[in-house]
C-alpha cells in the first residue's frame, strides 16, 4: 500500500434511508476521510475500508445541540464537564455548543480560550463550539465583540434573569451587544426572564414559608418570560439587529415571537425537549425529588406543550436543544433542603444531552407531532445554520461525515442505568424510547457501534462558526 492510499480512509454506508430537511431517499453514502464524498445507489465497494449496512435504518446528520452547559457553576457547585461528552455521542449528537461565562475582568476570547485549554482540549468526545456569555460589559469588552466572528464564535449570550448574580445583564448591555454585534454578524441570544419579577416573587414565597421545589415554578411564571421576551424583541428592533431567544417554554412568549416574526422582524428561538415532554407537576414530589426538575425557565402546565410543537412546525421556533446541565441530585438536595434553605438555593439545570434526539424522535416523530424532515431540521440542520456551521447538519457531498445510522425498531427504557452523563439521575427515568442510534460517525470516524460508545477522549474538534448565521437571512450582509 502506498502512503497516499494509506492516508485516505473510505467508508461506505449502504442502503440506508437518508433523511434531509427536504426529503428522504434510499441511497449509499461514500465517506472519504472526514467528508461525504458521494451519494448514490450501488456505489462501488472497491478500495473501501469499512462497510456499514444500513438496510432498514434511517440515516440522518449527527445532531447539533446548540445549548449545553459543561462549565456552569452555581453558588460554588459545578456541573459535569466535557469528560462526559461521550453521552451526546451515544445519543446521536456529534456537535455541542457550550455557553462559557466571561470571567469578570477578563476578555471574551480570553475567557473562551482559558476554558478550552483547561477543560476541553484533549477531552471532548464530540465536536464543539462556544457561545460567550457576556458578564462584564466594559467599553473595551464591547469593542472586542466583532473579534468573536474572526475567531469562529459568531454568537453571544446575555442572561436577563438571575438578578444579583454576576452573569445577569441589564438592558444597556443588551443594546450595546446588539448594536456592536450586528457590525460583524454576531447573533445575540438571550435567556429571557425578568430578573426583578423572579426576585420579588421568590422573596415573597420564602417569607410565606413556601420553600418546596414546586414553588420554583410559581416564582417564575410565564408572564416573567413573556415580558423579557417582548423587551428583548423591541431592543433588537431598535438596534435593527436579529435576536435569538433561547429555551422558549410558554404560549405567552411564543405570542411575542410570532407577532414579531409576522411583522417581518428577524426573531427566532429554540425550545428544549423537557418543555415539550414534562409539565410542572413533576416539581411536586416528596423527599425533595422535585429538585431534579428545577431548571430555568421553569416547567409549565401541559397547555403550553401543543403550542410549542406547533411553533416548531411553523418555524417560529427552529431548534430543540437540551440545555444540558449536569448537577447531581445529591448536590441539589444538599443545597436546597433543610432549615433556612429553599428551592431558590437549588442549582438550576436538567441533565438531558444524551436523550435529546431520542426524545424528539419518540415523542415527536412517532407521535405524529413532527415529520422526519422537521425532525432533522430541529435537531441538526437549523442549529447548524443559526451558528454558521456551514459544513455540518446536512447529508450532502462536501459536508462533514457526522452521521447517525438509526434503528427505528429498537424499543427500550431511558434512565440513569443507560446514561453516560455522569449524573446521579435522569429526568427521563422509566420513559419509553422508540428507536436508537446504532452507529454514529464523527467526521468519518465511528464513535458509536452497536449502540455502544467506541470513540476516544479528545477526538472532538473545535467547529468554527461563520458570522451572519441564518438569523441574519433577512438582513443585507455586510
For residue 193, the minimal CB distance to ligand DUC (Å) is: 8
Angular region, 214: left φ>0, alpha ψ -120 to 50, beta rest: alpha
Site for ligand DUC in 311-330 (CB under 6 A): 323, 325
Separation in Å, CA 96 to CA 120, 158, 215, 363: 12, 19, 31, 22
Are 322 and 394 in contact, with CB atoms under 8 Å apart? no
Decide if residue 180 touches Zn ion (CB under 5 A): no
Residues in the chain, overall count: 478
Among 72, 275, 329, 375, binds ligand DUC (CB under 6 A): 72
Decide if residue 323 touches Zn ion (CB under 5 A): yes
Calpha distance 77→69 (Å, rounded): 13
User: Which residue in the block uniquely carries the three cell numbers 456552569?
Assistant: 72
Nearer to ligand DUC, 168 or 466 (CB): 168
Separation in Å, CA 403 to CA 16, 92, 370, 435, 443: 11, 8, 20, 16, 8
Per DSSP, the three-state class of 396 is coil
Q: Which stretch binds Zn ion (CB under 5 A): 37-45, 88-96, 200-208, 319-327?
A: 319-327
For residue 246, the minimal CB distance to Zn ion (Å) is: 6
Picking from 319, 316, 348, the residue whose alpha carbon sits closest to that of residue 331 is 348
Among 131, 191, 220, 300, binds ligand DUC (CB under 6 A): 191
Decide if residue 69 touches ligand DUC (CB under 6 A): yes
Nearer to Zn ion, 65 or 400 (CB): 65
Instruction: Give the x/- contact pattern for ligand DUC in 270-309, rule: CB under 6 A.
Output: -------------------------xx-------------
Q: Taking CB positions, which residue lies at the least distance from ligand DUC?
A: 295
Instruction: Give the x/- contact pattern for Zn ion in 188-227, rule: CB under 5 A.
Output: ---x------------------------------------
For residue 162, the minimal CB distance to ligand DUC (Å) is: 7
Decide if residue 145 touches ligand DUC (CB under 6 A): no
User: Which of ligand DUC, Zn ion, none does residue 116 bind (CB under 5 to 8 Å by kind)?
Assistant: none
Calpha distance 169→134 (Å, rounded): 8
Q: Cell digits for 357? A: 434526539
Q: How many residues bind ligand DUC, per CB under 6 A? A: 9
Torsion of Cα atoms, 399 then 400 then 402 then 407, to 10°: 30
Site for Zn ion in 31-50 (CB under 5 A): none
Picking from 202, 207, 245, 246, the residue whose alpha carbon sits closest to that of residue 220 is 202
Per DSSP, the three-state class of 124 is coil
- Report, in angstroms and rounded to the nearest whole number, the Rg of the chain calculated over CA atoms: 22
Are 203 and 150 in contact, with CB atoms under 8 Å apart? no
User: Which of Zn ion, ligand DUC, none does residue 82 bind (CB under 5 to 8 Å by kind)?
Assistant: none
For residue 294, the minimal CB distance to ligand DUC (Å) is: 7
In 156-239, which residue ranges form alpha helices assigned H by DSSP? Answer: 171-184, 195-207, 215-219, 222-239
Picking from 373, 383, 281, the residue whose alpha carbon sits closest to that of residue 322 is 383
User: Which of ligand DUC, Zn ion, none does residue 326 bind (CB under 5 to 8 Å by kind)?
Assistant: none
Nearer to ligand DUC, 191 or 372 (CB): 191
Among 348, 377, 387, 470, binds ligand DUC (CB under 6 A): 348
For residue 123, the minimal CB distance to ligand DUC (Å) is: 20
For residue 122, the minimal CB distance to Zn ion (Å) is: 25
E-only strand ranges, 247-335: 267-272, 317-321, 324-325
Residues found near Zn ion in the complex (CB under 5 A) = 191, 323
Residues found near ligand DUC in the complex (CB under 6 A) = 69, 72, 191, 295-296, 323, 325, 348-349
Amino acid at each position: 500500500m502506498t502512503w497516499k492510499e494509506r492516508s485516505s480512509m473510505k467508508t461506505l454506508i449502504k442502503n440506508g434511508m437518508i433523511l434531509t430537511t427536504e426529503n428522504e431517499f434510499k441511497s449509499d453514502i461514500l465517506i472519504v476521510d472526514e467528508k461525504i464524498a458521494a451519494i448514490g445507489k450501488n456505489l462501488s465497494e472497491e478500495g473501501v475500508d469499512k462497510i456499514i449496512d444500513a438496510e432498514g435504518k434511517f440515516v440522518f446528520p449527527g445532531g447539533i445541540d446548540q445549548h449545553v452547559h459543561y462549565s456552569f457553576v452555581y453558588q460554588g457547585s459545578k456541573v459535569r464537564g466535557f469528560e462526559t461528552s461521550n453521552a451526546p455521542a451515544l445519543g446521536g449528537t456529534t456537535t455541542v455548543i457550550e455557553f462559557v461565562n466571561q470571567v469578570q475582568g477578563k476578555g471574551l476570547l480570553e475567557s473562551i480560550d482559558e476554558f478550552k485549554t483547561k477543560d476541553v482540549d484533549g477531552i471532548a468526545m464530540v465536536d464543539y463550539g462556544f457561545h460567550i456569555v457576556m458578564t462584564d460589559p466594559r467599553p473595551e469588552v464591547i469593542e472586542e465583540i466583532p473579534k468573536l466572528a474572526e475567531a469562529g464564535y459568531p454568537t453571544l449570550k446575555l442572561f436577563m434573569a438571575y438578578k444579583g448574580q454576576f452573569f445577569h445583564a441589564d438592558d444597556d448591555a443588551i443594546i450595546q451587544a446588539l448594536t456592536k454585534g450586528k457590525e460583524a454578524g454576531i447573533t445575540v441570544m438571550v435567556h429571557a426572564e425578568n430578573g426583578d419579577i423572579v426576585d420579588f416573587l421568590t422573596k415573597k414565597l420564602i417569607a410565606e414559608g413556601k420553600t418546596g421545589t414546586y414553588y420554583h415554578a410559581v416564582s417564575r411564571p410565564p408572564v416573567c418570560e413573556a415580558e423579557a421576551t417582548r423587551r428583548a424583541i423591541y431592543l433588537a428592533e431598535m438596534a435593527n439587529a436579529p435576536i435569538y431567544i433561547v429555551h422558549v417554554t410558554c404560549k405567552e412568549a411564543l405570542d411575542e415571537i410570532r407577532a414579531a416574526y409576522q411583522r417581518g422582524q428577524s426573531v427566532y428561538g429554540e425550545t428544549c425537549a423537557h418543555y415539550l415532554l414534562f409539565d410542572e407537576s413533576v416539581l411536586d414530589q416528596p423527599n425533595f425529588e422535585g429538585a431534579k426538575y428545577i431548571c430555568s425557565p421553569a416547567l409549565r402546565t401541559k397547555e403550553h406543550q401543543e403550542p410549542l410543537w406547533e411553533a416548531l412546525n411553523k418555524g417560529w421556533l427552529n431548534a430543540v436543544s437540551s440545555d444540558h446541565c449536569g448537577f447531581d441530585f445529591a448536590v441539589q438536595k444538599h443545597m436546597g433542603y433543610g432549615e433556612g434553605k429553599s428551592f431558590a438555593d437549588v442549582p438550576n439545570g436538567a441533565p438531558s444531552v444524551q436523550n435529546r434526539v431520542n426524545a424528539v424522535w419518540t415523542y415527536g416523530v412517532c407521535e405524529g407531532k413532527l415529520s422526519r424532515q422537521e425532525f432533522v431540521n430541529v435537531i441538526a440542520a437549523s442549529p447548524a445554520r443559526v451558528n454558521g456551521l456551514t459544513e455540518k447538519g446536512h447529508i450532502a457531498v462536501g459536508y462533514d461525515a457526522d452521521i447517525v445510522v438509526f434503528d427505528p425498531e429498537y424499543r427500550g427504557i431511558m434512565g440513569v442505568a443507560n446514561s453516560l452523563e455522569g449524573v446521579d439521575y435522569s429526568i427521563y427515568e422509566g420513559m419509553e424510547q422508540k428507536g436508537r442510534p446504532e452507529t454514529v460517525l464523527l467526521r468519518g470516524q465511528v464513535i458509536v457501534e452497536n449502540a455502544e460508545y467506541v470513540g476516544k477522549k479528545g477526538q472532538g474538534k473545535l467547529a468554527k462558526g461563520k458570522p451572519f448565521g441564518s438569523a441574519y437571512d433577512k438582513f443585507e450582509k455586510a
